[in-house]
Amino acid sequence: MRRRRPLYATGADEESATPGGRGAGVNIYRLIKIPACGSLPGIKVRQEASLSNSQLTPGVVPGRLPATAYAANFADVPPPLDPYEARVAADRCYFCHDAPCITACPTAIDIPLFIRQIATGTPEAAATTIWAQNILGGMCARVCPTETLCEEACVREEAEGKPVEIGRLQRFATDRARAGGLHPFARAAATGRRVAVVGAGPAGLACAHRLARHGHDVTVFDAREKPGGLNEYGLAAYKTTGGFAQDEIAWLLAVGGITIVTGRALGRDLTLEALRRDFDAVFLGLGLAATNALGIPGEAMATDAVDFIARLRQTPDLAALPVGRDVVVIGGGMTAVDAGVQSRLLGAETVTIVYRRGRERMGASGHEQEHAATAGVRIVTGAAPVAILGEGGAARAVEFAYVEEEPKGLVPTGETFRLRADQVFKAIGQRLEGVPAGLALEGGRIRTEGPGRTSLAGVWAGGDCTPAGEDLTVTAVAQGRDAAEDIHARLAGR
Ligand SMILES: Cc1cc2nc3c(=O)[nH]c(=O)nc-3n(C[C@H](O)[C@H](O)[C@H](O)COP(=O)(O)OP(=O)(O)OC[C@H]3O[C@@H](n4cnc5c(N)ncnc54)[C@H](O)[C@@H]3O)c2cc1C
Ligand code: SF4
């Protein structure tokens, strides 16, 4: 029988530090305790019965867990509120005048109003309040980092350290109203104006819906097979279960006047010049399709975390998705956490996120870092990758150098360590590529002024592809919506 490796305090053969360096003779596992699988508070990482592959199988293989474990591991987090819980949660709201939660919401939803509507037993009215500002309010209720937005600003968070559960209440209202078939917006009389939207992510969809409400005809082009952008291909599977992204899009299209054309890429099948000629206005919501490179030896053995997550989101069978036994994720943002946590939920035995700066500089919020720890993912900070080591194109380990932050930047301390890894994910940020000629850029993204106006007349942009994008779904929605209002005003001759 094979012995299970201990999850901490392993021998020096597992992972070693530079002789004589800060970690000399110390295994990094000794420094950070990882809870054993199956005993994780809040998250159930199931491992039962023996299979052809297990958590201990070396390499990158599918089916590390029993078939029944996947559904449980990828269940809704957190689960929805039932009507009684929603009433109780709504009753905690003080319905503040000048509510700070509204200011903290990028889409400025009237939060006290919708919570009062829930409290008075009218969740459909609450949903209408939410959708009036944020047409993807259902998805945002699931994926917004509310702990750094509305709930952080909630007065009850400051007073008691326990905010009103705004995100879960928003989900309660929008889910109830959608399930009841409510789409509370009708189109205005047709204007005869046509607008092209490129990119069917949150920015493009929000823009399209608002334009359609104003009576314009909208055609949304997207390079991929399905609409939704990162709602469909990027967000963590356990945040948006049960095909929610496509359901929400189908519901959004009920407004009418929107045609979605998939498999058509700007720069390959379409030109900006032709779109400007054929349509009255163009909105670009391209997101950030390319990923940054590590620039270290052995990089070819690493996988883009975003590609891995897209495969995970699209697979009909999570058990068929290969994952490493020892996974190392390089990066410190939401993508790094999502790749790490989901690798673990797929059955990776060890998952380590390594970030070059301190925890306080990580793009992933404190809440997300805690979520990673709860799932048994450890986070090592202050270390930069030096090389990925392996043979035959397969990774075996990653070498890191400890670094310190100094005014001139990150400086190696001279100490190094290696982590065993048969799968390495890079999650060090995305970038824009293939920007049509003639558009002015700022920091590698499409420069915009005011509500998304680009340097080209008749062309607007919003979401992650602009410098104003905050790499948040809700911000992309706000920018798409606001650009649509500006396009409408321009088309109406105001
Ligand atoms: C792994 C991951 C996890 C995330 N988790 C969260 C989260 O939990 N919460 C949160 O708030 N935010 C999260 N984000 C960020 C959030 O997903 C984005 O900020 C948001 O999706 C941006 O919306 P967008 O419409 O600007 O771009 P995208 O969602 O990227 O959509 C852009 C669309 O444009 C299309 N496109 C691109 N180029 C072309 C072209 N040339 N021609 C035609 N179509 C094109 C793409 O196919 C895509 O459909 C996450 C991001 C990632 C990568
Ligand atoms: S700040 Fe908190 S208590 Fe006040 S209105 Fe917003 S959710 Fe309610």
pLDDT (tens digit, 9 = 90+) per residue, 197-225? 999 999 999 999 999 999 999 999 999 99
Q: What is the mean pLDDT of the chain?
A: 90
Nearest CA to ligand 2 atom 6: 101
DSSP string, 382-451: SEEEEEEEEETTEEEEEEEEEEEEETTEEEEEEEEEEEE-SEEEEES-EE---PPTT--EETTEE--BTT
Strands 323-324 and 60-61, sheet pairing: antiparallel
pLDDT mean over 416-440: 95
Q: Three-state DSSP class for 379?
A: strand
Q: Tens digits of per-residue pLDDT, 293-320?
A: 999 999 999 999 999 999 999 999 999 9
Cα–Cα distance, 228 to 433 (Å, whole number): 19
Atom of ligand 2 nearest to the CA of 102: 6
Q: What letters, b where the CB count within 10 A reaches 16 and e where it falls short, cover 418-447?
A: bbbbbbbbbbbbbebeebbeebeeeeebbb
As given in the structure block, the two tokens for residue 98 are 């000048």
Expressed in angstroms and rounded, the spacing between residue 476 Cα and the centre of ligand 1 is 9
pLDDT mean over 98-108: 97
Atom of ligand 2 nearest to the CA of 163: 2
Res 251: pLDDT? 97
Give the residue, out of 149, 164, 166, with the most ligand 2 atoms within 8 A of its beta carbon, to mutate for a pocket test: 164
CB of 265 shorter than 6 A to ligand 1: yes
Percent of the chain with pLDDT over 70: 90
- Amino acid sitting at position 422: D
Those residues with Cβ within 8 angstroms of residue 274's Cβ, 6 or more apart along the chain or in another chain: none
Res 51: pLDDT? 55
Is a pLDDT exceeding 80 seen at residue 46? no
Strands 281-284 and 323-324, sheet pairing: unpaired
Nearest CA to ligand 2 atom 2: 154
CB of 282 shorter than 6 A to ligand 1: no
CB of 463 shorter than 6 A to ligand 1: yes
- Least confident residue range of 72-81, 102-111, 298-307, 394-403: 72-81
Res 473: pLDDT? 98
Ordered by where they begin, the domains of the chain are 28-73+292-427 (3.50.50.60), 83-179 (1.10.1060.10), 194-289+433-491 (3.50.50.60)
Expressed in angstroms and rounded, the spacing between residue 451 Cα and the centre of ligand 2 is 28
Res 347: pLDDT? 97
Single out the residue of 305, 284, 315 nearest to residue 436, CA to CA: 284
Expressed in angstroms and rounded, the spacing between residue 101 Cα and the centre of ligand 2 is 6
| Residue 422 contacts residue 396 (beta carbons within 8 Å) | yes
Those residues with Cβ within 8 angstroms of residue 13's Cβ, 6 or more apart along the chain or in another chain: none
pLDDT mean over 280-295: 96
CB of 198 shorter than 6 A to ligand 1: yes
Atom of ligand 1 nearest to the CA of 199: 34
pLDDT mean over 339-360: 97
Is a pLDDT exceeding 50 seen at residue 54? yes
> Relative to the alpha carbon of 95, which ligand is closest?
2
* Helices (H), ranges, 242-304: 244-252, 272-278
As given in the structure block, the two tokens for residue 238 are 């356990």
Nearest CA to ligand 2 atom 4: 96
Res 69: pLDDT? 95
> Relative to the alpha carbon of 452, which ligand is closest?
1
Percent of the chain with pLDDT over 90: 85
Atom of ligand 1 nearest to the CA of 339: 1
Nearest CA to ligand 1 atom 48: 229
Q: What are phi and psi of 352, to 5 degrees?
A: -125, 125
